[in-house]
Amino acid sequence: MKSLRKCCQIAFIAVSSLLFSCQQPVDLVIINAKVWTGDLDNPLADMVAVSGNRIAFVGWQEDLPAELGEHTTVIDARGRLVIPGFNDAHLHFMSGGLSLLQVNLADCKSRECIKNRLEEKTDQLPSGAWITGRGWDHTLFNQGKWPTRDLLDEVAPDHPVFVRRIDGHVGWANSLAMAKAGIDAQTAVPEGGEMLLDPQTGQPTGIFKESAMTLVSKVIPEPNDSLKLAALRLAHDHAIQLGVTSIQDQSGISSMALYHHLMNQGLFQIRVSEWLDFDMTRNPDSLVELLDSLKILTKPLELETGMLKGFVDGTLGSRTAYFFDPYSDDPTTVGLPQYTADELNRMVCVAESLKLQVGLHCIGARANHMALEAYDRALQTFGSGDSRHRLEHAQVLRTEDIPRIKELGVIASMQPTHCTSDLRWAEQRLGRERSKGAYAWKTLQNSGVRLAFGTDWPVEPLDPMRGIYSAVTRKHIESGEPKEGWFPEERLSVRDAVRAYTLASAFSEFKEDEKGTLTKGKLADMIMLSKDILEIQPEEILNTRVLMTIIDGRIVYQEEESN
């Protein structure tokens, strides 16, 4: 097969004369495509042209023939689908990049798999070097029971080991790691955390929940800037191969200088909105000073500071998500809130008074309710209009709280693969009745709530196709069960799922006028797919590849095709 990209010197081609009505030079044009614009008024076209880094025209090539310049790059899509680039509304890009360098325990379904992955890493590192990573899920390999340090001690006795659960909210350490951290049964646990103790010996088992993880993580050497830059470049290349052109990221303020460095060298094209720490609202003066100091690191539309991100609770898988009623499979706990209601109300009010957007990690129904209460109070006191505060995850909601999300103009920032990963055990945690309010995409959409989709990478894989499949089917990705989907009434259409990954995600960062649809004047960020996901069977979505990624009107990734 010929390459998709045709860098030919040509004189004429069937494209719109409107391209030249403003005397704009056309630098790149895609023809013979099925263009899904994401624009409700003009959803389909068969060509798109780019001038500089902006879309110059989207329309039908047969209607308006015109002459192109000899240096115009012409891409013949041969009928393939072209859509806006994906905007991941919630991820941890640095952690994702580092996870590509660390031990990866995702998908391990046996103790042997855990051992083998760790043994590979011990062979690569000198004795005494830390082994870190993430991805384990005790519901897959340990019959739902928390693992202990014994397994890690067995495979890596000469290396301190600390690996985070797939959700990032629980850490698992071996004996050497705890010894280096000076941890024993009498160690004080930070508020909002839990250190599990063996009921027979009274000694730490090696499991640390939420803030208790800092007891170990504080003694782990920080990766240096060289390693972080390598991680970001790996993450970047991984993302553009998956069609991700924008990210809304929680990698920490220190990452902004690294992004800036790579962008200045032309090594990073993805658009970044970097979140700030919500806890900084405890000291408003220092927050304002920080925002002023970061202005020198930002480039318009490429690297910007985003919302304030905070954590109201933990996760469903680790039973630290916060509920009104106890867990169905553990009546001794309702989860672990990270703030009191008064603290949360006060901090959100500070953010609103400074006109700063807030996004709060809320999994359990009570955590989501607390966040809505705080947003309501702040908007009544300081609100001046369009705050676009967010519920990050919004996984389990009470029916009566859903209308409030719409009324307050709050965005539900959700990750569809959380549903299809969790459905194996979600009803055990929640019971049938509470599960009706879990991952309630269709109910939210029908209530007028804006849905913005992301992946939470590296908690889940970065591939948006997995999220679209999950939103459309509500089936486990590997097993394809349940046959009709888990609570199938909450399924979305493919178009709605793609819109949540593009225009709605752009809206969630106040960028809907710049990106999210293929519309004249917007940024030229788009992708070409191997299959028409708007028409194929849902199961085929998982096998759909990105053939080309275009950012700022430039081809940044192209799949090599064999003859």
If you search the block for the tokens 């996760």, which residue do you land on?
A: 315
Q: Nearest-5° angle of CA 474, CA 477, CA 482?
A: 50
The CATH class, in words, for 103-217 is alpha beta
Question: What length is written for the chain?
Answer: 563
* CATH number for the segment(s) 1-84+516-563: 2.30.40.10
E strands, 211-329, are 244-249, 271-277, 303-311
User: Which residue intervals of the chain bear CATH 3.10.310.70?
Assistant: 103-217
What single-letter amino acid sits at 431? Answer: G
User: Which residue intervals of the chain bear CATH 2.30.40.10?
Assistant: 1-84+516-563
Q: Output the pLDDT for position 68.
A: 66
Each residue's pLDDT tens digit, 128-174:
989 999 999 999 999 889 999 999 999 999 999 999 999 899 999 99
Q: How confident is the model at residue 96 (pLDDT cuts 50, 70, 90)?
A: very high
Cis peptide before 464 (omega within 30 of 0): no
User: Which burial class, exposed, middle or buried, applies to 409 when counting CB atoms under 10 A from its CB (0-12, 13-18, 19+)?
Assistant: middle
The sign of the torsion formed by the CA atoms of 18, 20, 22, 24 equals positive
The sign of the torsion formed by the CA atoms of 91, 253, 240, 104 equals negative
Q: What is the β-pairing status of strands 303-311 and 358-362?
A: parallel
Helices 225-241 and 254-264, packing angle to 10 deg = 70
Q: Output the pLDDT for position 24.
A: 66
Strand, coil or helix: what is 157?
A: coil
Q: Output the pLDDT for position 20.
A: 42
Over 80: is that where the pLDDT of 298 sits? Answer: no
Mean pLDDT of 383-398: 94
Q: How far apart are CA 527 and CA 241, in angstroms?
A: 10
Q: How far apart are CA 270 and CA 444, in angstroms?
A: 30
Q: How far apart are CA 319 and CA 419, in angstroms?
A: 16
- Side-chain-side CA neighbours of residue 193 (13 Å): 19
Mean pLDDT of 539-547: 97
Alpha-helical runs (H) found in 354-457: 365-382, 402-407, 416-422, 426-430, 432-435, 441-446
Each residue's pLDDT tens digit, 7-65:
333 323 334 334 444 356 789 999 999 999 999 999 999 999 999 999 999 999 875 44
Each residue's pLDDT tens digit, 304-350:
999 999 999 999 989 999 999 999 999 999 999 999 999 999 999 99
Q: How far apart are CA 437 and CA 433, in angstroms?
A: 8
DSSP string, 448-465: TPPEEE---TTSS-S-HH
Cis peptide before 482 (omega within 30 of 0): yes
Over 50: is that where the pLDDT of 6 sits? Answer: no
Q: Name the helix (H) or strand (E) containing 539.
A: helix 538-541
Each residue's pLDDT tens digit, 213-241:
999 999 999 889 998 999 999 999 999 99
Q: Output the pLDDT for position 300.
A: 64
Percent of the chain with pLDDT over 70: 93
First vs last C-alpha separation in the chain: 4
Over 90: is that where the pLDDT of 557 sits? Answer: yes
Q: Output the pLDDT for position 310.
A: 98
Q: What is the β-pairing status of strands 73-76 and 5-6?
A: antiparallel
